Amino acid sequence: AQSVTQLDSHVSVSEGTPVLLRCNYSSSYSPSLFWYVQHPNKGLQLLLKYTSAATLVKGINGFEAEFKKSETSFHLTKPSAHMSDAAEYFCVVSDSGSARQLTFGSGTQLTVLP
């Protein structure tokens, strides 16, 4: 069985300050991990993915995430927030034991203050 816990339902940061969105996962098999972003009235968009290659993964728009197996974590970071980063972010796990289906976390709403 696989599951994802996003530790914060809401995060607020000021523009230009760092962003940290936290995610812990549980998986019975070697997992693939993803971060998706959802802007209002738009489809989910893939930010980045980890598939057992480098543990530090770089994505679009300056986001990156680090896979830490010992901590079962996959936190999303960005050095400097931009107003356009305001959106809902989902941490997602997929493992080979589940026909590679995606299991989504409950989401973190990111607010960026001017």
Partner 1 sequence: EAGVAQSPRYKIIEKRQSVAFWCNPISGHATLYWYQQILGQGPKLLIQFQNNGVVDDSQLPKDRFSAERLKGVDSTLKIQPAKLEDSAVYLCASSLGLAEYNEQFFGPGTRLTVL
Binding site for partner 1 (CB under 8 A): 4, 32, 36, 41-46, 49, 51, 90, 92, 94, 96, 99-107
């959802």: which residue's tokens?
38
The minimum distance between CB 84 and partner 1, in angstroms, equals 18
Residue with smaller CB distance to partner 1, 42 or 70 = 42
Residue with smaller CB distance to partner 1, 15 or 97 = 97
Contact 93, 103 (CB under 8 A): yes
Amino acid occupying residue 24:
N
CB atoms within 10 A of CB 1: 10
The minimum distance between CB 17 and partner 1, in angstroms, equals 26
Tokens of 52: 């057992």
Contact 81, 13 (CB under 8 A): yes
Residue with smaller CB distance to partner 1, 86 or 102 = 102
